[in-house]
Amino acid sequence: MMRKLQHLVAAADLDAAQIGYLLGVARTFSPYVQRGETIPLLQGKTVVNLFFENSTRTRTSFEVATRRLGGATTNFAASTSSVQKGETLVDTARNIVAMGPHCIVVRHASAGSPSILARALTIPVVNAGDGFHEHPTQALLDAYTIQETLKSVEGKRIVIFGDIAHSRVARSNIHILKKLGASIAVCGPPTLLPPKPDALGVDHAYRLEELLPDADVVMALRVQLERQNRMQIPSANEYARFWGLDREKAKLLKKDAIILHPGPINRGVELDTEVADGPRSVILHQVFNGVLVRMAVLAAVCNPEGLAEWLDRGGHRV
Ligand code: CP
């Protein structure tokens, strides 16, 4: 019997059965979303997006996902809220919960914020990215995209390159992709890899060229230029030359290898435009799949019984 998903705080908390379930639900939703149909599993329910950091893809896709499930969505903007007057995260969230929503989706710069809210609140909490810690729905949509494009994650060689040390996307992907049977290698400048990369249970190299010939999937991470106050890289140009994926380095890839990026892309830094927009790129598929995966997560935490019933009926009648 699969463990019930009460909240989604971290990919580390998910087991392989739960990951497989969520990806399977997302797959079942796909034809409905492609036809522009609604699956009313959140009818009468409200999801609040509590974002303390900027977002384009994650916040919008949670909104679209909620609406595709027939629910209502409300966006909270920290910059115009009473957080500016010193109200705490927990007080803010408790006051929002008092208005009667059914789920909180939270993005916050502090690692552990979703976990604190999951303990303090009486409704499901979904992590939309917390500091350097985790971004579990990003990793789920990445796994979905790999499955969709290459049929399976199991046995695939996945190279994640960039700022591994500070990347919540890398951390969540390592948890999920390993549980699905992938072998993972990370790459980046020594200053942007954790001091003991082996502790992540992955291989590592400092030169991308060493890893590219064996890769089935290459996942570029955004160089967080706004967090480079400690000068971990000499300059964006030098980063691009040594660790960016350009047309020349991409020639080392296997014929069917694919390229992912969580966005937003620094074009000409971690990815050249020709590579980002080229035939191997599945970046916009990732964005579409983000809606499916977030629908699966919201349905699983907000209406598990309704979802199970819908799946039992074959997912054909709504
Ligand atoms: N991938 C991702 O989290 O993008 P946003 O910051 O735009 O949500």
The answer to whether residue 69 is domain-embedded is: yes
pTM for the whole structure: 0.96
The answer to whether residue 1 is domain-embedded is: no
Same domain, 95 and 191: no
Same domain, 17 and 128: yes
Provide the number of structural domains found in the chain. 2
The per-residue pLDDT string of the chain (318 residues; one tens digit each, 9 = 90 and over) reads: 788 899 999 999 999 999 999 999 999 999 999 999 999 999 999 999 999 999 999 999 999 999 999 999 999 988 888 999 999 999 999 999 999 999 999 999 999 999 999 999 999 999 999 999 999 999 999 999 999 999 999 999 999 999 999 999 999 999 999 999 999 999 999 989 988 888 999 999 999 999 999 999 999 999 876 665 555 777 888 889 999 999 999 999 999 999 999 999 999 999 999 999 999 999 999 999 999 999 999 999 999 999 999 999 977 544
* 27 ligand 1 Cβ < 6 A: no
Strand partners, 47: 73, 103
Alpha-carbon span 287 to 87, nearest angstrom: 33
* 138 ligand 1 Cβ < 6 A: yes
* 262 ligand 1 Cβ < 6 A: yes
Among 50, 51, 54, 56, which is best to mutate for testing ligand 1, by the most ligand atoms less than 8 A from CB? 56
* 58 ligand 1 Cβ < 6 A: yes
* 263 ligand 1 Cβ < 6 A: yes
Ligand 1 atom 4, closest CA = 57
Q: Which domain holds residue 291?
A: 11-134+287-312
The answer to whether residue 174 is domain-embedded is: yes
Instruction: Let me know: does 291 contact 64? Beta carbons within 8 Å.
Output: yes
Among 50, 51, 58, which is best to mutate for testing ligand 1, by the most ligand atoms less than 8 A from CB? 58
* 173 ligand 1 Cβ < 6 A: no
Same domain, 57 and 113: yes
How confident is the model over 47-70, as pLDDT tens digits? 999 999 999 999 999 999 999 999
Nearest by Cα to 129 from 71, 96, 170: 170
Same domain, 87 and 171: no
The answer to whether residue 215 is domain-embedded is: yes
Same domain, 107 and 141: no
Same domain, 307 and 256: no
Ligand 1 atom 5, closest CA = 55
The answer to whether residue 151 is domain-embedded is: yes
How confident is the model over 163-219, as pLDDT tens digits? 999 999 999 999 999 999 999 999 999 989 988 888 999 999 999 999 999 999 999
The answer to whether residue 198 is domain-embedded is: yes
The CA-to-CA distance between both ends of the chain, in Å, stands at 26
The answer to whether residue 6 is domain-embedded is: no
Same domain, 150 and 126: no
Same domain, 189 and 269: yes
Domain containing 167 — which CATH number? Answer: 3.40.50.1370
Cα(291) to centroid(ligand 1), Å? 13
